[in-house]
Amino acid sequence: MKIYLARSISGLSYAEVMEEYAKTVSKLGALYHILNPMTAKGHLKSEKEFASYGKYTHPVSVGHAIYERDKWMVQSCDILFADLSGTTKASIGVMYELAWAALLNKHTVLVLPEGNIHTHTFVRESADVVFTEYDEAIDYLLTLQRSIIGA
What is the per-residue pLDDT for 57?
77
Of the candidates 43, 127, 148, the one whose C-alpha atom is nearest the C-alpha of residue 84 is: 127
What is the per-residue pLDDT for 151?
67
Q: Which helix (H) or strand (E) holds 91?
A: none
Which residues, including other chains, have CB under 8 Å from residue 95's CB and lie 6 or more apart? 118, 123
Q: What's the pLDDT tens digit per position in 76-99?
A: 999 999 999 989 889 999 999 999
Report how far residue 138's alpha carbon sits from residue 3's, in angstroms, rounded to the nearest whole number: 12
What is the per-residue pLDDT for 77?
98
What is the per-residue pLDDT for 88?
87
What is the per-residue pLDDT for 9?
87
The percent helix, strand, coil of the chain (3-state, each to 5) is 45, 15, 40
DSSP state of 50: -
The ranges of the chain with pLDDT < 50 are: none
Statement: 2-44+55-149 belongs to CATH 3.40.50.450: yes
What is the per-residue pLDDT for 21?
95
What is the per-residue pLDDT for 84?
97
